Each structure stands twice: as structure tokens, then as C-alpha cells.
A and B are shown apart, each in its own frame.
Chain A
Amino acid sequence: MVKITIDEKQFEVENNLTIIQAARQNGIHIPHFCWHPKLSVSGNCRVCLVEVEKMPKLVIACATQVTDGMIIQTNSGRVVKARNAVLEFILINHPLDCPICDEAGECKLQDYAYKYSVGESRFEFDKVRKPKRVELGPNVMLDTERCIMCSRCIRFCDEIVNKPQLVFTQRGDHVELTTFQGQKLDNDYSMNVIDLCPVGALTSKDFRFKARVWDMSATDSVCVGCSRGCNTKMWVRNNEILRLTPRFNSSVNQYWMCDHGRLNSFKNVNAANRVNAPMFRKDGMLIDVGWDEAMARATSELKSFKKNEIAAFGSAHSTNEDNYLLAKLMNHMGVHRIDFVPHIEDAKQDSLLIKADKTPNSTGARLVGIKSDTDEYSYRAIIDDIRNGKIKALYVLDDDIAVVPEIAEVLPKLEFLVIHASNENQTMKYADVVFASSTYAEKHGTFTNFEGRVQKNKPAVSTLEHDRVLDGMPLSRLDRFGAHNDRWTKGIKRDTRASWRIINSIAAILGAKWKYNKCEDVFNEIASTNSSFYGLTYENIGVTGAMIQKSQEQVTVRS
């Protein structure tokens, strides 16, 4: 440990830290562009210049180690002048096109220019021209003129993904970011460079020009693309998710997420094929009905089968709470054939984040009781028994099980199929009752990731179940200040329900004595009755999740 002084305040810090790290640990922000906690130090932007007593020149806080007795000034006259000079330099060849730039509102350059520079340029010449609208790869666009040459994106590809796909070419004020000749920026994590880029040089092909940052609300969420459970922010405008960005969690995903999760785990929420109301089959057609009708039909049909003629599939896509209540309902009905269908893609995994299990909650589904007795592969036995006619009725939680060919093959044999579905899917073709369920973006709930970390989700998109303001959902500027006649404030609100709530109602009809008002109550019951979850409460899971009481075999995901 060493004693240092930053801006007249004394701190004791570890001695292998740089000034910027030591300051950060103590809540002092030293402005920086190129430095990033998880990337190597490049020391090139020069915005983090600080004054250190007894050192003749200003030093860069990102590359200078603290020493005992070091006296650091981050706001002395010299520092303020130098920082202003650096910002003026960065801006002389910058296009200053904030009004049309996606980054505006979350741009480090914009923020620093307001905060640390005099806000006036003495540069009166033509700026250096560089290529605009460069497609670096399938997901990322580059505006070379906005680039401030911080090299974060290059270092990310080199150091984190181990796919060196970006380089600088040319020299001086003609330096340009580009891909290696004949190559594309197409690694599985390419879109993280968009978040890393402190300016609007790198933008998302999927999101660009869709919304101003301040017109969206940001809700903490968890990606459902695989069993890693990367922490995310879900950006919503007009009750529609427009993008996902990674949210820092040192135990799960650091600052990153994969492109697949970012692009493909939310589009279904506002898709045209949403199931907007419950349905049942009449004269061979699925028709929209009311909730009560659908429930009545489902319960009366289920009652007509013997216990051993019924089976259920939980879902590794669904939350712990959904699965727990399904297991509890089946238990109440005396049904013991219950499992879920795994979705493992061994070819699609890596050592950074991407897991082979393409569902967010296999671990949790198994732990809360979605498995029959001890048979590891009981879902196969269920399929066999559908095929040979022993099982006649099937209850399926949110999972398009018919995408598995051997399942699609046996579904026509069922006499009764009830499913929860948020979107039209293959399984619906065979269903007799369809409950319109909320997606993970529209409900509360928890997932248990591959290593047993329980993480919370909350609604980012509102359904008829909740109200953005009354239920304390994150608000955008539009949500706060938009007028009712403002077209932006009118989003579709669907009549869908969280699966655990649907099961709750069915259980009541079937005479169960239990009832839950909040998702939280379901989780807390799990935690108090299931040894794996002992010690956890909905509250103490927190924003970064909490580990279950795990033993290795409990969390090993079968393949």
C-alpha cells in the first residue's frame, strides 16, 4: 500500500496501480478516451494528463504508476489548460455532426467538450476528409471522420477476441481505421467495438438512425441467448426495444456480449407474429378467445385424462418462477412426467462468453423440479410414450418444441396439447389451447445461469399487466415529458401475461390452495424450500446476481 494525494485528498492505495486506477477506485474521474479497464494501456489520447509534484512534465494518468507520497493534481491550472488543448486538437478535424450522430447523448467527446473545454475552436481551415459510411463488417459501420484514433476497437479485437481484424493505416492526421485487406470485422463479438468507441465512429447497422439516446429508457436486463446470461441494458422507446447493450458484470460478462445475443434475443418482443390474445382450436382453427374461456377449456380437458396420461414440458427459456409453478401445478394434479427439451449446440461455443446451451435457464429449470425422478433423458421417454400412445395430453411452457423433428413427428398423436407461447411458432400447429405469454422483456423473473448464478429480470416493455409510471419502470425523456398526443408516447400494449401468473390462475381453477401476487413471492418460496437456493431472496440477488448453493453435479448441464 502507498499513500497518495489526489487534489488535496489523501488516499491509501495498492502500489501496483496507475494513477487513473487509483483515482477511479476512490471515485475520482480522470477524463480519458483510449484507456479502458479491460484493455491494454495505449496512452495515446492524452486527455488524462495530470500534474504530479516533482515531475517536470504533465504525465498521463493511465500509464503512470502511483508511488508512495505522490501528490497528484487533476485540476490544476496546467492540467485544465492542457486538457482543453487536447480537446481542441481532437475537434479540429472532427466533423462536429452531433445533430445527426447516433452517439450524441452518450458521447464521451461531447461530454468532455462541454465539461473540460472552452467550447470554442480557433481552427478555420478545411478539415481532413476521410471515408464515410464504411461497412467494416456485417454489423458495424464506420465513419472515419468521427474516429479519434483511440485504438480501443483495435485492442478489443486483438486482446479480447483474439481476432486481430482492425488496423490503422496512413500517418498523422490522415490515419484511418480499417480492416486488414480483404477481411471483414466479423468476429462473434464485433459489436462491442460500438460500445467501446467513445465517439460515433462505429455504429450499429441494426440500430443506427433509429432513435436519439435520450428518447429511450434503459432497463437492466439479462440476455437469454445462451446459458451465460450476459448482463444487458434494454433500450426502449415507444414501448419497443430498439437495442441491447452489455452491462458490466465482473462475474459474468465483464463489459461484453456477443453479437448473436445482442441482435437476436429481443426482436421477437415487438415482432408482427406476437400472440396477442389467448386462443383455442375450434373447427380445426385457432381462434382468439378471452382468458377465462381459454382457461376453462384447458382445465376441463386436462381433467378428462388420467394422471399418467398427462406429461409436461417446462422450458429452459422460461424463468425459475415459471418452471417452479409448472412443477407445482403438475404435482398438484398428480402428474409426474415432467422435463424440458434441451437446446445444445456444441459447435457454437467459445472460451470467452458463448455457451453451447442456447437457453438461459437449464440450470434453474432442473433445480426447481423440471425433471422426472432420476432419468437424465426423461424428455426422450416422454416423446416415446407420446409415440406409443401412453401419453395423451401435454402441457408445454414457453418452448417451440416442434422445431425438434422427432418431437414434431409425435405431436399429432396427442389428444390434447396446451402451450404457452409469446410468438407464433411451429408447436402452435398442433396446439388445442394457446396462452399468450409475456416475453422475458415484459415480466419479472429470475434465471440461473450455467454456473449457478441467479440473475433478475424486470419488465422493460409494458403489457396490460403493468404501467410504466405506476410500476416504476425506467422512463425516457419522452415517457416523462412527452404529451399524450405525441405519437412517440403511444406504444402497443399487449394482452399477454407472465407464464407464472397464467399457471397461478389455472391452479386456482383446479383447486390448488396456493396463490401468488408477485413474482418475488414465488422466488422467495423457492429459496425457502429448495436447498440449492437457500439464503437467497429476491431482494438480495441484486443487480449483479447471486450464486446458488451449488454442488458441481447440480449445475452440470447435460448435453
Chain B
Amino acid sequence: MSEFNEKLLLPNIPDLHKIEVYEQNNGYSGLRKAIGMTADAVIDEVKKSNLKGRGGAGFPTGLKWSFMPKQSAKPKYLCANGDEGEPGTFKDRQIFGFNPHLFIEGSLIAAYAMGIKAVYVYIRGEYVKWIKILQQAIDEAYSKNYIGKNILGSQFSTDVYIVRGAGAYICGEESSLMNSIEGERGYPRVKPPFPAQVGLWGCPTTINNIETLANVPLIILRGAEWYSQIGVPKHPGTLLFGVSGHVKKPGVYELPTGSLLTDIIFKHAGGVRDDKKIKAVIPGGSSTKWILGGELDGVKMDADSLKAYDTSIGTGGVIVMDEDTDVIKVLARLTHFYHHESCGQCTPCREGCGWMEKILNRFIAGEARIEDVDLLLNVANNIEGNTVCALGDAAAWPVQSVIKKFRGEFEKRVKKISSEKKYVPPPHLISV
């Protein structure tokens, strides 16, 4: 693979968030070009580019767009997903902060391609600063007729609205995101029907991640052919890797897909703090399975390569843990997150997440028994695949993977008592 050094999403151009600067740098020419094409041609171009969703599941974007009905008596909607709730993920806010117009332009092209009447940008409520920047950019784009009625003199009209989330991870899941916009409780919907048939307010809807949409203007402007050459052909483009944990220079690094995980950590993020050894890496946000420090050599960061390590690219949020890390504590903290964020709608996730957390706390307290390792694994297995939405899986995967890779650590933490003795929970573990 040839070196690709260009920053497509976050180029180093000062004040790019201002519309004049953005326009001087080819801004909105992708939209102009798209409007000159047929809607189908735009979708075809995105299909040909092989663009995969950046929201976690890696679904082919062009294919998703093609699911939208061409004719629809009801209005069609686009939801841009900027909920960014996944622990270890902080990339979409960089786009809002440094290149909001790129995202807006991508949304408009998507809206044009699918015949969409309104774009809802769902942003996590804590992102006050970034919401302000984005609103400013939207206002500018309205004033220059990139958004609104008869955009750039064409027949195409659409509106863009920001919706603020209220602090629930589950509202990043696409169907509860729609419920949340509707003012309903953030419960994921049972699928089918899929959003392209029955989405927001019962109308055909597509949901895309912010970063996904930000890739679209350049695909249209420079062509699918060019785009599909960047990085790994089956999963092309650049990714915004958010690197956190025990590294010297945590931050967001834009690199082509297929980049070496070790390059990301050592070349870009400056290596491990105090030059310690790496115990484990979470490659793509908290819901992805862990990679051992000893397995890192040669790991490439793209969908297919990570499959070989039984994990996935997720959101590209790389979490690095050094040799001193107490993995059980980390796992307990992550599990606490899923327990806290489970919407509580479906039985296995609602009940199972809390149970897993309680078992993990027992390990931390040194009160666990040897059977608890398999019990924990079994609870995770009983959640996986049996839930309404993928949060249940996301809670189960880290547990399964940490037990698989660090079973020894669990066994070391077991209380040295005969396993016949009845377990009595210590007072601090009694939950309320």
C-alpha cells in the first residue's frame, strides 16, 4: 500500500470552520457537482467508492442509501448521528469543531441523493461548544443558499436542524435516536421494519454517522475511483482514530484504513507513557473485543484485518492499556457503563449487565470463587445475540474477550477458600 498522507476530513487549514475559508478550499463544490448529476448517479458513485459507515457497524453507505424508496407519499428524512457516546470515541466533535461545513455538505449531498426533506443532526447534549460551532456553520450555509429552498438555484430544497441529546448512550443507537427525536423514550425499536421503510415519524429514514457523511463531498468531487484507492480497497478512505489511554499524545489522528495499529500508537500517539509495555488495546471503542499487547505486531486497522483477530474497527477509538493496568477493574468499569446505559427494555441486557457488574465487583473485592469466571462468561453468552439492540452484544463482547485473554488474572483474584463455603456479599457490594 502506497503512503497516503493527505488529511481529507481534518486538513490543516486555519479557520476552515468559517464558510469563506471553506469555500476558498473547494467547499461546496461537491454539492454543486452532485446537483448537476441525477440522484441515482450520486448513489451509484457512493456505492462505487465502497464507503463504509463510521458509526460502528461498518455498513456500506451507498447500499444503505439505495434502500430508501424512490417514490414515497411521505417525506423522507436523514438523521446524522453525532451522539458519539461510545467510550473511547471523540472524533465526530473534531469534525464539528474544525470542518463543520464538510459534514454539512456531505449531508446535503446525501439529502439530494435520497430526496430528503429534512436533515436532523442528533448531537450529544454535552457537546455545547460544538453544537454552537455547527449551528453557526448551518446559519452561514443557509445564508448562502446551500441549505434551504431551491438550493443553488435547483429544484432541490432541504432543511437542516440540530437536535440535542439528553445524555443517554442508547440514543446513539439508530432506532432509539429516532424515538428520541420524536420526543419518545429512548428505546430501540424492534427490527424489521427497518428505518428505510418505517423510520422517523413512521417515514422512510436513513441514519448515518457524522464522519461517514463527511467523506461524501470528496467522493463526489474527486470521484469514487480516486477514493476507493485510499487505504484498503474493501474499506477505503481515511479514518479518524481517537487514541486514548496510556499514550504520550492522546488525540485524534487521521490515517488511511489499513494503517498499522503499532504505527498509530508509537508513530502518531508518541508511544506508551513512561515507555511501559502494552498489556492490551481496545481497537475501536469500548464495545470491540480486546487485542493483547503481545498480538499487536502487524495488526492493520481496517474491517477485514481486524476480523482475523476476532474484533472489529468499531468507531476507531483506540484505547491503550499499559502493563500495570488492572484489566478486571477496567472491565468492571466498562461493564458498569453498559449496566448504567442499558435502556432496560429487553430482559437479557437489562438484567444481565447488572449481574455481570456485580460478579466483576466480587473479583475486585477478592471475594470471588473459581466458578465465578465461568458464571460471568455464561451470563455474557446468554446476553449475546438475544437482545433487541446491539448494546447487549456490546456489553457481552468485552467480557467474553477479557475472560478469553486474561483468564489467569481472574483465577489469581479468586478468594482462597473452599468453594463449598457459602458466599456472603460484603456490605459495600450490597446494591440499592
Q: A92-B355, A124-B425, A128-B431 are in contact. Are A43 and B382 (CB under 8 A)?
A: no
Q: Which residues in chain A, 138-197, are within 8 Å of chain B measured between CB atoms?
A: 148-149, 167-168, 170-175
Q: Which residues in chain A, 51-73, are within 8 Å of chain B measured between CB atoms?
A: 57-58, 60, 63, 65
Q: Is B341 an interface residue (CB 8 A)?
A: yes
Say whether B385 contacts A57, CB under 8 Å. Answer: yes
Q: A89-B382, A167-B185 are in contact. Are A128 and B354 (CB under 8 A)?
A: yes
CA distance A161 to B346 in the complex (A): 25
CA distance A175 to B352 in the complex (A): 14
CA distance A93 to B425 in the complex (A): 16
Q: Is A126 an interface residue (CB 8 A)?
A: yes
> Which chain B residue shows the least CB distance to A63?
B190
Say whether A173 contacts B339, CB under 8 Å. Answer: yes
> Which chain B residue shows the least CB distance to A93?
B351
B342 partner, pick from A65, A122, A128, A171, beta carbons under 8 A: A171
Contacts of A93 in B (CB 8 A): 351, 354
Say whether B340 contacts A126, CB under 8 Å. Answer: no
Interface centre among B170, B346, B351, B354 (most CB of A within 10 A): B351
For the complex formed, measure the closest distance between the CB of A263 and the CB atoms of chain B, giving whole angstroms.
Answer: 32
Proximity string of chain B (137-170) to chain A, C-beta cutoff 8 Å, 1 when within and 0 when not: 0000000000000000000000000000000101
Contacts of B358 in A (CB 8 A): 125
Contacts of B168 in A (CB 8 A): 171
Say whether B341 contacts A172, CB under 8 Å. Answer: yes
> Which chain B residue shows the least CB distance to A169?
B185
For the complex formed, measure the closest distance between the CB of B40 and the CB atoms of chain A, giving whole angstroms.
Answer: 30
Q: Which residues in chain A, 428-448, are within 8 Å of chain B measured between CB atoms?
A: none
CA distance A65 to B193 in the complex (A): 11
For the complex formed, measure the closest distance between the CB of A173 and the CB atoms of chain B, giving whole angstroms.
Answer: 4
Say whether A149 contacts B355, CB under 8 Å. Answer: no
> Which chain A residue shows the least CB distance to B353?
A172
Say whether A44 contacts B346, CB under 8 Å. Answer: yes
> Which chain B residue shows the least CB distance to A56?
B385
Say whether B351 contacts A90, CB under 8 Å. Answer: yes
Contacts of B293 in A (CB 8 A): none
Proximity string of chain B (86-98) to chain A, C-beta cutoff 8 Å, 1 when within and 0 when not: 0000000000000
Q: Is B252 an interface residue (CB 8 A)?
A: no
Say whether A85 contacts B344, CB under 8 Å. Answer: no
Q: Is A49 an interface residue (CB 8 A)?
A: yes
Say whether B382 contacts A172, CB under 8 Å. Answer: no
Contacts of B66 in A (CB 8 A): none
CA distance A86 to B379 in the complex (A): 10
For the complex formed, measure the closest distance between the CB of A264 and the CB atoms of chain B, giving whole angstroms.
Answer: 35
Q: Which residues in chain A, 78-99, are within 8 Å of chain B measured between CB atoms?
A: 82, 85-86, 88-90, 92-93
Say whether A85 contacts B382, CB under 8 Å. Answer: yes
A46 partner, pick from B192, B348, B353, B430, beta carbons under 8 A: B348
CA distance A148 to B431 in the complex (A): 19
Say whether B348 contacts A172, CB under 8 Å. Answer: no
Q: A90-B351, A125-B358 are in contact. Are A172 and B342 (CB under 8 A)?
A: yes
Proximity string of chain B (384-425) to chain A, C-beta cutoff 8 Å, 1 when within and 0 when not: 011110000000000000000000000000000000000101
Q: Is B26 an interface residue (CB 8 A)?
A: no
Q: Which residues in chain A, 23-47, are within 8 Å of chain B measured between CB atoms?
A: 41-47
Say whether A175 contacts B344, CB under 8 Å. Answer: yes
Q: A58-B386, A125-B429 are in contact. Are A46 and B340 (CB under 8 A)?
A: no
Contacts of B192 in A (CB 8 A): 63, 65
Say whether A90 contacts B347, CB under 8 Å. Answer: yes
Say whether A173 contacts B350, CB under 8 Å. Answer: yes
Q: Which residues in chain B, 25-49, are within 8 Å of chain A measured between CB atoms?
A: none
Q: Is A123 an interface residue (CB 8 A)?
A: yes
CA distance A125 to B342 in the complex (A): 19
A45 partner, pick from B170, B344, B346, beta carbons under 8 A: B346
Q: Is A129 an interface residue (CB 8 A)?
A: yes
Q: Is B262 an interface residue (CB 8 A)?
A: no
A44 partner, pick from B345, B354, B385, beta carbons under 8 A: B345
Say whether B343 contacts A172, CB under 8 Å. Answer: yes
For the complex formed, measure the closest distance between the CB of A274 and the CB atoms of chain B, giving whole angstroms.
Answer: 49
Say whether B347 contacts A172, CB under 8 Å. Answer: no
Say whether B350 contacts A123, CB under 8 Å. Answer: no
Contacts of A167 in B (CB 8 A): 185
Q: Is B432 an interface residue (CB 8 A)?
A: yes
Contacts of B432 in A (CB 8 A): 128-129
Say whether A171 contacts B351, CB under 8 Å. Answer: no
Say whether A43 contacts B388, CB under 8 Å. Answer: yes
For the complex formed, measure the closest distance between the CB of B238 and the CB atoms of chain A, giving whole angstroms.
Answer: 32
Q: Is B375 an interface residue (CB 8 A)?
A: yes
Q: A92-B351, A172-B342 are in contact. Are A125 and B386 (CB under 8 A)?
A: no
Say whether A173 contacts B423, CB under 8 Å. Answer: no
Proximity string of chain B (337-376) to chain A, C-beta cutoff 8 Å, 1 when within and 0 when not: 0011111111110111111001000000000000000010
> Which chain A residue shows the least CB distance to B424?
A124
For the complex formed, measure the closest distance between the CB of A128 and the CB atoms of chain B, giving whole angstroms.
Answer: 7
Say whether B344 contacts A171, CB under 8 Å. Answer: yes
CA distance A82 to B432 in the complex (A): 28
Say whether A173 contacts B386, CB under 8 Å. Answer: no
Q: A89-B351, A124-B425, A125-B358 are in contact. Are A82 and B375 (CB under 8 A)?
A: no
> Which chain B residue shows the least CB distance to A173?
B354
Say whether B344 contacts A42, CB under 8 Å. Answer: no
Q: A92-B355, A172-B353 are in contact. Are A122 and B190 (CB under 8 A)?
A: no
Proximity string of chain A (89-133) to chain B, C-beta cutoff 8 Å, 1 when within and 0 when not: 110110000000000000000000000000000111110110000
Contacts of A45 in B (CB 8 A): 346-347
A126 partner, pick from B185, B344, B385, B431, beta carbons under 8 A: B431
A89 partner, pick from B170, B340, B348, beta carbons under 8 A: B348
Say whether A86 contacts B185, CB under 8 Å. Answer: no
Say whether B425 contacts A44, CB under 8 Å. Answer: no
Contacts of B388 in A (CB 8 A): 43-44, 46
For the complex formed, measure the closest distance between the CB of B237 and the CB atoms of chain A, giving whole angstroms.
Answer: 28
CA distance A175 to B348 in the complex (A): 14
For the complex formed, measure the closest distance between the CB of A172 and the CB atoms of chain B, giving whole angstroms.
Answer: 4
Say whether B346 contacts A85, CB under 8 Å. Answer: no
CA distance A47 to B429 in the complex (A): 30
Say whether A168 contacts B344, CB under 8 Å. Answer: yes
For the complex formed, measure the closest distance between the CB of A150 and the CB atoms of chain B, giving whole angstroms.
Answer: 9
CA distance A174 to B350 in the complex (A): 9
Say whether A173 contacts B385, CB under 8 Å. Answer: no
Q: A90-B351, A126-B430 are in contact. Are A174 and B344 (CB under 8 A)?
A: yes
Contacts of A42 in B (CB 8 A): 190, 345
Say whether A124 contacts B344, CB under 8 Å. Answer: no
Interface centre among A44, A88, A122, A149 (most CB of B within 10 A): A44
CA distance A531 to B425 in the complex (A): 77
Say whether B386 contacts A86, CB under 8 Å. Answer: yes
Contacts of A90 in B (CB 8 A): 347, 351
Say whether A123 contacts B423, CB under 8 Å. Answer: no
Say whether A85 contacts B354, CB under 8 Å. Answer: no
For the complex formed, measure the closest distance between the CB of A112 and the CB atoms of chain B, giving whole angstroms.
Answer: 12
Contacts of A148 in B (CB 8 A): 347
For the complex formed, measure the closest distance between the CB of A89 and the CB atoms of chain B, giving whole angstroms.
Answer: 4
Q: A82-B386, A171-B342 are in contact. Are A125 and B347 (CB under 8 A)?
A: no
**9 closest Cβ contacts across the A-B interface?**
A175-B344, A43-B190, A85-B382, A89-B351, A172-B342, A173-B354, A172-B344, A125-B358, A126-B430
Question: What are 16 inter-chain pairs, A to B, with CB distance below 8 A?
Answer: A41-B190, A46-B348, A46-B387, A63-B190, A65-B192, A86-B386, A89-B350, A90-B351, A92-B351, A125-B430, A171-B168, A171-B341, A171-B343, A172-B354, A173-B351, A174-B344
Given contacts A93-B354, A172-B354, 20 further A-B contacts (CB under 8 A): A42-B345, A43-B190, A44-B190, A46-B348, A46-B386, A49-B386, A57-B385, A85-B382, A86-B382, A86-B386, A92-B351, A125-B355, A126-B430, A129-B432, A170-B344, A171-B340, A172-B341, A172-B353, A173-B339, A175-B350
Instruction: Mark A residues whose CB is within 8 Å of B.
Output: 41-47, 49, 57-58, 60, 63, 65, 82, 85-86, 88-90, 92-93, 122-126, 128-129, 148-149, 167-168, 170-175
Instruction: Mark B residues whose CB is within 8 Å of A.
Output: 168, 170, 185, 190, 192, 339-348, 350-355, 358, 375, 382, 385-388, 423, 425, 429-432
